[in-house]
Amino acid sequence: MIDPLNNIIVIGQGAMGLLWYHHLSQANTHTSASPNVSLLSSNQAQLNAYELKSAKYQFTPYQQQETSIYPITYAKTADIKRANIILLCVKSYHIASALKNIAKDIPHRCMVILAHNGMGTFEEAAELLPSNQPILAMLTTHGCLRRGVLNIEHTGLGYSDVGLLSGEISTNQQNKLSNVLSHALPEVTFHQNIIEKQWLKLAINCVINPITAINDIDNGEVNNEKYTEQVNQLLAEIVAISHNEGINLVLADLQKTVFKVASATAKNCSSMRCDILAGKPSEIDYINGYIHRLGKHYQIATPENTRLWQQVKSLNA
């Protein structure tokens, strides 16, 4: 028997959380097949009954000027207890606390999807959930800007990759999940080895995020010749660590990929640089800090990743 994926919880009301909430809640709104989609945010416990009922968000579609206002349906405990999909769109350092608050109410067959930058949260999530809980990772290239509280703009069209980290789901469920997500915000592809894609994104983030944050530059400046040696050293360390994790990253391929991503997003402000400029915590512990911790574990020196991890930590401080 295949569970219908008709109860979806999106956790997080930042840019990516609202982007997914918007598209999931608007998909099939006029059909009986429409899933029940609700939003779980960290501050809803402080809202009174009227505020919960009347809450709205603002959304500006890609390459459009007009902003529209939509209602928010906040998730209740009963929604969590019947959820088929829980999509966590929060910063990596909030994953554990967000799950801890609801772990006891999550159904055992519910698919828990981690959508964030960096790596290292799976281990935290696995400690809070049953061993057979389906835990998945999602990587997306969609661009989204938070203009203000509950106000976002879809700034770049992209695609999303999703795959299983632990637990089991059938091939039919994999296809159904891909279809539900892709119908809302195309295109979503299910991958049998999502960890390889996680490592590729991690390598890109280990370069572009800290260099742009420390030097207060747009993404494209990373391709400046003065950063070439630093970029190569960062990537060489990541390749060495990845091989010990059974991931076959190739230095020359990574160099080309980082150059291509920095060029394609040349005018963008990286998420880490945005966090630093806004005085918010960064995800550096789950990016270069993750490489540093694995380096210690495998007794492999990672001096450049460690240095940038410490530098960004000092910016946060």
pLDDT at 33: 63
CATH of the domain at 229: 1.10.1040.10
Domain final position from 163, 191, 219: 191
Q: Are residues 164 and 32 in the same domain?
A: yes
Domain final position from 158, 191, 224: 191
Does some domain include residue 148?
Answer: yes
Q: Are residues 187 and 261 in the same domain?
A: no
Does some domain include residue 80?
Answer: yes
Q: What is the pTM of this model?
A: 0.95
81-128, pLDDT tens digit by residue? Answer: 999 999 999 999 999 999 999 999 999 999 999 999 999 999 999 999
Report percent pLDDT > 90 for the chain. 93
Is the separation of the CB atoms in 40 and 80 below 8 Å?
A: yes
What three-state secondary structure class fits 317? coil
CA distance 60 to 45: 27
Q: Are residues 144 and 290 in the same domain?
A: no
Does some domain include residue 1?
Answer: no
Token pair listed for 153: 């703009």
Q: Are residues 113 and 251 in the same domain?
A: no
Domain of residue 229: give its range: 196-316
Q: Are residues 157 and 218 in the same domain?
A: no
What length does the chain have?
A: 317
Q: What letter represents residue 187's amino acid?
A: E
Domain final position from 175, 191, 207: 191
Residue 110 DSSP code: P
271-310, pLDDT tens digit by residue? Answer: 999 999 999 999 999 999 999 999 999 999 999 999 999 9
Could you tell me which of 24, 137, 132 has the C-alpha nearest to residue 75? Answer: 24
Average pLDDT, the chain: 95
190-226, pLDDT tens digit by residue? Answer: 999 999 999 999 999 999 999 999 999 999 999 999 9
- What is the average pLDDT across 128-133? 96
Question: Of all helices (H) and strands (E), which one includes residue 87?
Answer: strand 85-88
What's the gap between Cα 229 and its chain centre?
29
Token pair listed for 169: 């789901």
Query: How many angstroms separate the Cα of 145 from the Cα of each of 18, 151, 152, 153, 268?
Result: 10, 9, 6, 5, 11
| Interaxial angle between packed helices 171-184 and 15-26, expressed in degrees from 0 to 180 and rounded to the nearest 10 | 100
pLDDT at 32: 52
Token pair listed for 275: 């966090």
Q: Which of 9-13, 27-31, 168-172 is the least confident region?
A: 27-31
Is the separation of the CB atoms in 113 and 34 below 8 Å?
A: no
Token pair listed for 265: 């997003």
188 — pLDDT class (breaks 50, 70, 90): very high
Does some domain include residue 2?
Answer: no
- Domains identified in the chain, total number: 2
**Phi, psi angle pair for 144, to nearest 5°:** -145, 135
Could you tell me which of 96, 97, 92 has the C-alpha nearest to residue 118? Answer: 92
pLDDT at 34: 73
Is the separation of the CB atoms in 57 and 22 below 8 Å?
A: yes
1 — pLDDT class (breaks 50, 70, 90): very low
Query: How many angstroms separate the Cα of 58 from the Cα of each of 72, 150, 154, 271, 312?
Result: 10, 6, 11, 21, 32
Is the separation of the CB atoms in 74 and 43 below 8 Å?
A: no
- Side by side, which strands form the sheet with 111-115? 36-40, 7-11, 85-88, 111-115, 135-140, 160-166, 188-191
**Phi, psi angle pair for 192, to nearest 5°:** -75, -25
CA distance 2 to 64: 39
pLDDT at 316: 85
